[in-house]
């Protein structure tokens, strides 16, 4: 989400005459795009802001701006608490950035905040400037905001109401990327299954949008994130099955394996519903990988609830999971009504148990891949050796292989010879 937002910000500032430079040492402005989802994300931002102070002492013209969800959440409080921050700008106010930056220059150190949320802003007319990409794979924001109000989550407060972007602009952006040589797009939203544009005959839901983007070219891979389990429809799975270039990987955040916890979290589905969706995925797309998010130690979570999460992990056998300790966020339903009553060390122990189990499952899943062949989109040099390249298969698994004659951005067949928990090691099939 934030990479996509940074590219929109870069586009707005490029239009206003600014240019991206190599590093903070050369910059007149350092803009930090932030996440507010957990406290440790915010602590990292504060640390970075404080580090910049030394540089500001040497280069007095350098100004620091904090953008995104943490700016939205804390507003001018952030400038009071971190006095080297000159301005803050929330996720729906990026068009105001040039004005803010001019203001900072002309008013000396006049502190400024642009944090209004919008019910309509989607930045649909802005063609993102890809500042952090590899020229092969890009993110496309298809909607903004969220109004699911999961009890623990700050997103509805920092990113505002859900709104979808005009499909014409999405298809145009994807086609332009393909023409520029990109071979993979990931359509992004907090709950892509509730994407919706237009009315009745002209309406376009997420399956229709996927159909349109996947039809641009069979050589363009299409991914998406995130799917809320309550809205994952058979229609979407049918569309995926009909388009081999829609990648066989579904991120389906479960959060907990206990119905009592799911109710308290306001997730609006049960474990039974979730498992039915997993069965549907396996029916329509037998080779599809499934990944998830989970939270350990939410309010009142018992050992029994925790065991239910471990049981669910054993049943689904995820290929990958993002695993978090519950972090109480100011302003959420849980902050107002539910005690953060699981001691830190219990949260940590439960998280570690989930991590250990998931590690075993991921390794066992990968061992089953040994001997198989996959079409891989070659994305870059391996971190370990320049002689090796890496890419991903449709299931989003990383494969590392000897470079041979493979070129970045091409599709190559790779045979898996060995694996670790996180990576498949293979060789090019000529
Ligand atoms: N919209 C997506 C998730 C966005 S946030 C969805 O609903 O699936 C990414 C993940 O962060 C969530 O899935 C959740 O697992 C985690 N998360 C959100 N709020 C959290 C909190 N307060 N503490 C710990 N983890 C949290
Ligand atoms: Fe947060 Fe729930 Fe919305 Fe995801 S669906 S962003 S977890 S409120």
Query: How many helices (H) does the chain have, and how many strands (E)?
Result: 14, 19
Report H helices in 32-96.
Answer: 39-58, 69-74, 76-81
**Counting every residue, how long is the chain?**
430
Count of structural domains, the chain: 3
The overall longest dimension of the chain from CA atoms, in Å, is 65
Is the residue at 335 inside a domain? Answer: yes
CA of 268 relative to ligand 2 center, distance in Å: 11
Phi and psi at residue 380, to the nearest 5°: 180, 180
pTM score above 0.85: yes
User: Is residue 228 lining ligand 1, measured as CB closer than 6 Å?
Assistant: yes
End-of-domain residue from the set 67, 82, 114 = 114
CATH number at residue 415: 2.40.50.140
Give pairs for 58-61: CB < 8 Å, separation 24+. 61/28
Residues 356 and 380 in one domain: no
* Closest atom, ligand 1, to C-alpha of 253: 8
Q: Which ligand minimizes its atom distance to the CA of 42?
A: 1
pLDDT by residue (tens digit) across 206-233?
Answer: 999 999 999 999 999 999 999 999 999 9
Residues 269 and 392 in one domain: no
Is the residue at 125 inside a domain? Answer: no
CA of 144 relative to ligand 2 center, distance in Å: 12
pLDDT by 10s per residue, the chain, length 430: 788 999 999 999 999 999 999 889 999 999 999 999 999 999 999 999 999 999 999 999 999 999 999 999 999 999 999 999 999 999 999 999 999 999 887 765 555 899 999 999 999 999 999 998 899 999 999 999 999 999 999 999 999 999 999 999 999 999 999 999 999 999 999 999 999 998 777 789 999 999 999 999 999 999 999 999 999 999 999 999 999 999 999 999 999 999 999 999 999 999 999 999 999 999 999 999 999 999 999 999 999 999 999 999 999 999 999 999 999 999 999 999 999 999 999 999 999 999 999 999 999 999 999 999 999 999 999 988 989 999 999 999 999 999 999 999 999 999 999 999 999 999 999 8
Q: Are 210 and 203 in contact (CB under 8 A)?
A: no
User: Is residue 293 lining ligand 1, measured as CB closer than 6 Å?
Assistant: yes
End-of-domain residue from the set 114, 147, 171 = 114
Euclidean distance between CA atoms 92 and 118, whole angstroms:
6
Phi and psi at residue 173, to the nearest 5°: -65, -45
Residues 205 and 344 in one domain: yes
CA of 229 relative to ligand 1 center, distance in Å: 13
Beta strands in 132-288 (DSSP E): 137-141, 143-144, 163-164, 184-188, 196-197, 204-205, 221-225, 249-251
Is the residue at 121 inside a domain? Answer: no
CATH number at residue 76: 3.40.50.12160
Could you tell me which residues are beta bridge partners of residue 88? 66, 113
Out of 295, 296, 333, 351, mutate this one to test ligand 1's pocket (max ligand atoms within 8 Å of CB): namely 295
Is the residue at 402 inside a domain? Answer: yes
Q: Which ligand minimizes its atom distance to the CA of 2?
A: 1
Distances (CA, A) of 287 to 29, 101, 146, 191, 224: 47, 50, 30, 23, 17
Residues 177 and 271 in one domain: yes
Residues 405 and 299 in one domain: no
State the residue range of the domain holding 352.
137-366
CA of 343 relative to ligand 1 center, distance in Å: 20
Residues 101 and 179 in one domain: no
* Residues within 6 Å of ligand 2 by CB: 146, 148-150, 153, 155-156, 190-191, 228
CA of 153 relative to ligand 1 center, distance in Å: 6
CA of 185 relative to ligand 1 center, distance in Å: 23
Is the residue at 126 inside a domain? Answer: no
User: Is residue 190 lining ligand 1, measured as CB closer than 6 Å?
Assistant: yes
Cis peptide before 226 (omega within 30 of 0): yes
Distances (CA, A) of 77 to 41, 72, 73, 82, 92: 17, 10, 9, 9, 18
Is the residue at 122 inside a domain? Answer: no
CATH number at residue 362: 3.80.30.20
CA of 391 relative to ligand 2 center, distance in Å: 30
Handedness of CA 275, 279, 280, 282 (dihedral sign): positive
CA of 17 relative to ligand 2 center, distance in Å: 36
Residue whose CA lies nearest to ligand 2 atom number 1: 153
* Closest atom, ligand 1, to C-alpha of 37: 19
Q: Report the b/e string of 52-65 with b at 16+ CB within 10 A.
A: beeebeeeeebbbb
């Amino acid at each position: 989400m934030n990479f996509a937002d940074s590219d929109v910000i870069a586009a707005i500032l490029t239009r206003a005459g600014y240019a991206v430079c190599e590093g903070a040492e050369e910059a007149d402005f350092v803009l930090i795009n932030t996440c507010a989802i957990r406290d440790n994300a915010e602590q990292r931002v504060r640390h970075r802001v404080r580090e910049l102070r030394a540089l500001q002492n040497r280069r007095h013209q350098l100004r620091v701006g904090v953008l995104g969800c943490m700016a939205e959440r804390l507003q001018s409080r952030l400038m009071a608490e971190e006095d080297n921050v000159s301005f803050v700008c929330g996720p729906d106010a990026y068009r105001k950035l040039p004005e803010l930056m001019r203001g900072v220059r002309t008013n000396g150190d006049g502190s400024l905040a642009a944090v209004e949320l919008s019910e309509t802003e989607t930045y649909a007319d802005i063609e993102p400037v890809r500042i952090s990409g590899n020229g092969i794979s890009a993110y496309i924001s298809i909607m903004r905001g969220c109004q699911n109000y999961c009890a623990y989550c700050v997103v509805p407060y920092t990113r505002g109401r859900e709104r979808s972007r005009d499909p014409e602009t999405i298809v145009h952006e994807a086609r332009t990327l393909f023409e520029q040589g990109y071979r993979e797009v990931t359509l992004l939203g907090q709950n892509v299954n509730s994407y919706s544009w237009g009315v009745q005959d002209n309406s376009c839901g997420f399956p229709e949008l996927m159909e349109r983007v996947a039809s641009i070219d069979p050589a363009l891979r299409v991914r998406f994130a995130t799917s809320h389990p309550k809205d994952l429809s058979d229609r979407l799975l049918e569309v995926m099955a009909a388009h081999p270039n829609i990648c066989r990987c579904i991120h389906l955040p479960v959060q907990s394996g206990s119905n009592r916890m799911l109710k308290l979290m306001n997730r609006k589905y049960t474990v039974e519903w979730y498992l039915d969706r997993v069965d549907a995925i396996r029916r329509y797309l037998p080779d599809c990988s499934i990944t998830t998010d989970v939270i350990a130690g939410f309010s009142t979570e018992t050992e029994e609830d925790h065991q239910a999460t471990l049981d669910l992990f054993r049943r689904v056998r995820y290929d990958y999971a993002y695993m978090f300790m519950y972090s109480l966020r100011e302003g959420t339903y849980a902050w107002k009504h539910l005690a953060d009553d699981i001691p830190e060390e219990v949260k940590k122990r439960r998280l570690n148990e989930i991590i250990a189990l998931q590690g075993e499952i991921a390794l066992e899943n990968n061992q089953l891949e040994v001997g198989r062949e996959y079409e891989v989109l070659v994305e870059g040099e391996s971190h370990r050796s320049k002689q090796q390249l890496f890419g991903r298969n449709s299931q989003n698994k990383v494969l590392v292989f000897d470079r041979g004659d493979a070129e970045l951005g091409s599709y190559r067949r790779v045979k898996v010879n060995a694996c670790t928990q996180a990576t498949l090691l293979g060789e090019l099939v000529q």
